[in-house]
Chains A and B, each alone.
Chain A
Amino acid sequence: MMGRVLQKVGTGFSWICAILLLGTVFCMVGYLVINGLSTINITLIFGETDPMDALLFRKQVFDGLFPAIIGTFALVALSVSFAVPIGLAAGIYMAEYCRGTLKKVFSLFFDVLAGIPSIVVGLFGFSVAIFLHKYFSSKIYPCLFISALSLAFLVLPYLIRTTQISLENLPEGIRRTAPALGATKLQNIFYVMIPRSLSGIASGVILSIGRCAEDTAVIMLTGVVATSGVPKSVFSNYEALPFYIYYISSQYSDKQELLSGYGAAIILLVICGLLFMAAFFVKHRLTHHALYRP
């Protein structure tokens, strides 16, 4: 009798939590859409410049979101390309090569790294920029490159952890198949274990993409500015959508500007959505290819 009541309470509680969560998401997105959808038009993105000229980088856009959109894409691409190889390699090391006390020590370090507030990572990036400026080349300032490195630093612990766990969770039977056929440790990792763990690893990469696209604290200290146009090189300043949303909402001078902030928020969500879909597609193709290639 008591068991059945508890079961109903448990189920009801779970439902309430789920509805609360979904409801919050819908409210947030709904609020954004209601307020910002009207502002989304070509002018918001391209300003006074002709869209074709802007897309082919022939002319600069001065009063539109286009540079910020490009900046966000460039930032995500660069930081993910820094973080993924290192995170993957470290994850493989932790799962397959590291043992004993050293493994515990590294685990602790990675956990600490995961817990560092993003503003502190941003400060670190800024300090690195200053250090490089002083001791290497006075041409180095906070820029796209420094931001990408700092963001990579931010997402590295998640990549390492998901790779490590995906590899460690492989059943014993799968781990022994290739060695019993004469595979070296490295061959086992590359031909059998990684293809089997691709799903988990890809999930880690998708998480990192989302994190890099939305972080504001890190980029504020390492090179993002309000107006710089499309980034000319990795060592130049750049714009980014999260920063645009931040400064528009803190310094808007009329209602139209605030509404354009909502518009930018919607665009950022759409970009994240597109990046996630692309990542899921790649994950599907990779797992399909790796596992069922004839």
Chain B
Amino acid sequence: MENKTKIRIDGLSFFYNDYRVLNNITVSFPKNTITAIVGPSGKGKTTFLMILNRLWESIPKARMEGSVKIRFDGGFHKIYDPSYPLSRLRRLVGMVFQVPNPLPMSIYKNVAFPLKLAGLKDKNLISEKVETALKSAFLWEEVKDRLRDNAFGLSGGQQQRLCIARVLTLEPQILLLDEPTSSLDASAGAVIEELMTNLKDRCTLLMVSHYLDQVKRIADTVLELSDGKLIDYQIVSGKKL
């Protein structure tokens, strides 16, 4: 159904130098779902994610063909239109990386950082948003008494949740996660999985994953990429969209 589609990709091809990484992919993602992107390593899955927030544009000699449209504010917008500001796109499409990358600041400042970038000055509002984000990331209880501590003092799982909280302060509509649990142990990973399921009602999530049981547990749809081509796109058995 048309009004359930959040992302529409048409004829997407991607080249590093002249090497073709993604080959003519056409797919649509429904909103408020978790889509898992699976396939052999190094074959373009992270690149596919970066297409959606245009983060690949700082890489020299990278080239893209095709169109990507995302449904914001009631209509579909071509996100590669030069008139669409990059910083605004990246506030609507958030990204979480495989290895947690907290900035060398306090926990509070880390989570408040995107708000500072966006120019928000109201300290009370910032404080509120930081608390909301940390609660959404299931981290508030663990850090509420040590918000001024250095973020590097947190465990790996906590750091990853901090990075998720950081991205959530901007209230993104799409969340891109690149193997979010692969650098974490099983119990930390389980918390992240629960967190992602919880975020579904607010965001559309796209996650690259190598863990097929994780995919079965939390994903609604699965996109299989191999050699840059779309092999398969289907609803995970037992799930309803």
Contacts and interface: CB of A to CB of B under 8 A. Distances in A.
Given A99-B60, A192-B103, A180 B94 contact: yes
Contacts of B166: 181
B148 A294 contact: yes
Contacts, number: 70
B113 interface: yes
Given A99-B60, A294-B109, A182 B101 contact: no
B170 A181 contact: yes
A177 interface: yes
Interface residues of B, number: 31
A182 B106 contact: no
Contacts of A180: 53, 55, 90, 94-95, 97, 167
Nearest to B150: A292
Secondary structure call for the A interface: helix
B47 to A, nearest CB: 13
Interface in A276-294: 291-294
B104 A182 contact: no
A184 B88 CA distance: 10
Contacts of B187: none
B98 to A, nearest CB: 9
B52 to A, nearest CB: 11
A176 interface: yes
Contacts of A196: 104
A85 interface: no
B62 interface: no
A187 B91 CA distance: 15
A74 B107 CA distance: 43
B55 A177 contact: no
Interface in B102-126: 103-106, 108-109, 113-114, 116-118
A65 to B, nearest CB: 44
Interface string A169-205: 0000111111111111001000110011000000000
A117 B87 CA distance: 47
Contacts of B149: 294
A182 B58 contact: no
Given A291-B104, A292-B150, A181 B117 contact: yes
Contact of A178 (B104, B117, B150): B117
A174 B101 contact: yes
B143 interface: no
Contacts of B94: 180-181
A291 B105 CA distance: 6
A177 B101 contact: yes
24 contacts: A176-B97, A177-B101, A177-B103, A178-B103, A179-B55, A179-B58, A179-B90, A180-B90, A180-B97, A180-B167, A182-B87, A182-B91, A183-B87, A183-B117, A184-B87, A187-B117, A191-B116, A291-B105, A292-B104, A292-B105, A293-B105, A293-B106, A293-B109, A294-B109
Shortest Cβ-Cβ A-B pairs, 9 listed: A294-B148, A291-B104, A181-B114, A182-B90, A294-B106, A182-B91, A180-B95, A182-B87, A183-B117
Given A176-B97, A181-B94, 20 more contacts: A173-B101, A176-B58, A177-B97, A178-B103, A178-B117, A179-B86, A180-B90, A180-B97, A181-B90, A181-B113, A181-B114, A181-B117, A182-B91, A183-B87, A183-B117, A184-B86, A195-B104, A292-B150, A293-B109, A294-B108
Interface of A: 99, 173-184, 187, 191-192, 195-196, 291-294
